[in-house]
Amino acid sequence: MNKMISHSPESITLTIALCLACSGPPSFAQSPAREKPTLKDFGSSLKRLKWDPTKKAAVETKSNEDKANDSNQEDVVRVETSLVVSDVLVLDGHGRSVQGLKRDDFLVIEDAKPQTVGMFSLGDNATVPRSIVLIIDYSSSQLPFINTSIAAAKMLVDKIAPIDRMAIVTDDVELLQDFTNDKQNLKDKLESLRKRISSWDTPNSSPRQYFGRSAQYSALLATLREMFDEEDQRPIIIFQTDGDEAALLRNPITVRQVPPNLPEDLRKEAERALSNWQKDQRNKPREFSLNDVYRAVETSRAIIYTVIPGFQLLGL
């Protein structure tokens, strides 16, 4: 079961604490996390997606190499079963968290049938490693909030346990830092984002040279498809964005237009922004919709927390 929890700008610190102290998630066997292999060509899975206008959904395509490998494989019989992993926060009548819960305190019923709670551990169990991916939006729309976002992210780094590992992804669909538990390295990577934007207003500079390209949902989809494997016991994504890529996805839920009755100077500015947006749609078409992102979230084991540093767009 996946959960997406939205927070206002004032609650960035609260979000960090929530991510690190949710109580009651079932977990896999409590063994030390293995060293994950270095992820190469992050975002490449998005290149295999093709928008199907008939299905109104993204479909997976295969390269010639993949097709050749499929034809050479022997028939395999697979038997699969599902393990549903859920984070649960239990509160009493006064809104305080309930302490000391055990497996037997929970009853799970699905389709009127009781289910077995196979594995259980408390959220503050220091023996269960977490695999945390921070997706950070540093596009120009985030300029008033980037310093606060980076400072909050550094607080998160300080709070992760030695057995946790963390990766950083930007809205460029860039793996800024692969999974590591080296806190200083994580902070250095975050600081590098601040340095990228520090010269954006120098003479002859262009914001596009220094800011992220607002591909936040692309980064989220790539993270869901590529970053986690079956050995990640507690996969967590912290999705920090205002969500403005949504208008560029297929089947957009809104259409941009120039508002009527604007003063001449504002109308020209709005027309210029609309022209740039239309150019992005033509030159950088996305091959998936917001519903495709939602489906990927629903089938993932990852718990997703959203942090909205500025204005929340469209209630996403």
Write the pLDDT tens digit of every residue in 41-69: 999 999 999 999 999 999 999 766 655 55
Q: What is the pLDDT of residue 78?
A: 65
Q: What is the pLDDT of residue 141?
A: 82
Contact 310, 142 (CB under 8 A): yes
Burial profile 191-207: b = 16 or more Cβ within 10 angstroms, e = fewer: eebeebbeeeeeeeeee
Domains identified in the chain and CATH numbers? 1-22+129-250+286-316 (3.40.50), 24-29+86-122 (no CATH)
Tokens 């490449």 correspond to 44
Give the Cα separation of 168 and 195 in Å (integer): 16
Q: What is the pLDDT of residue 191?
A: 95
pTM of the model: 0.72
Vertex 114: Cα angle to 113 and 119 (nearest 5): 140
pLDDT confidence bin for 308, thresholds 50/70/90: confident
Alpha-carbon distances, residue 83 vs 1, 291, 294 (angstroms): 10, 24, 20
Q: What is the pLDDT of residue 125?
A: 65
Percentage with pLDDT > 70 across the chain: 75
Mean pLDDT of the region 80-97: 78
Contact 190, 150 (CB under 8 A): yes
Q: What is the pLDDT of residue 89?
A: 83
Q: Is the pLDDT of residue 14 over 90?
A: no
CB atoms within 10 A of CB 102: 9
Mean pLDDT of the region 107-117: 88
Mean pLDDT of the region 13-27: 39
pLDDT confidence bin for 8, thresholds 50/70/90: very low
Residue 221 DSSP code = H
Write the pLDDT tens digit of every residue in 173-215: 999 999 999 999 999 999 999 888 876 655 555 555 578 888 9
